[in-house]
Amino acid sequence: MNIRSKKLDEWDIPEDVKQYIRDLRQENGRLRVQLKGKGMQVRPAVDMLPVRTRNELQQLRAENAKWRNRFREAQTELAELKAAQADV
């Protein structure tokens, strides 16, 4: 079921859960407005990160890219070692 295809009131779930979802949506909207006020582009994945400025976000992304590249290098090295071991 696509959760966006039906209105919350039509869902077959308890009322307290519906209220919890409403509260989450309201809080999310409030956070988005706060971030937009600071001139940040709002995306769901970014909303979860503990950053206050664009610079912090760029630093996090750079560090992420660095570790991702190291992981890829290690994976290729491991694949090469396994291939060499299979040849022996």
Report pLDDT digits (tens) over 5-18: 567 777 778 888 88
The span from the CA of 40 to the CA of 14, in Å, is: 36
Q: So what's the pLDDT on residue 11?
A: 75
pTM, rounded to two decimals: 0.39
Between the alpha carbon of residue 46 and those of residues 51, 82, 84, the distances in Å are 8, 38, 42
> For residue 52, which of 69, 40, 66, 68 has the smallest C-alpha distance?
40
- Look at residue 71 in the predicted model and tell me its pLDDT: 92
Amino acid letter, residue 18: K
Per-residue pLDDT tens over the stretch 16-74: 888 888 888 888 877 777 766 666 665 665 556 666 777 888 888 899 999 999 999 99
Q: What is the pLDDT of residue 41?
A: 60
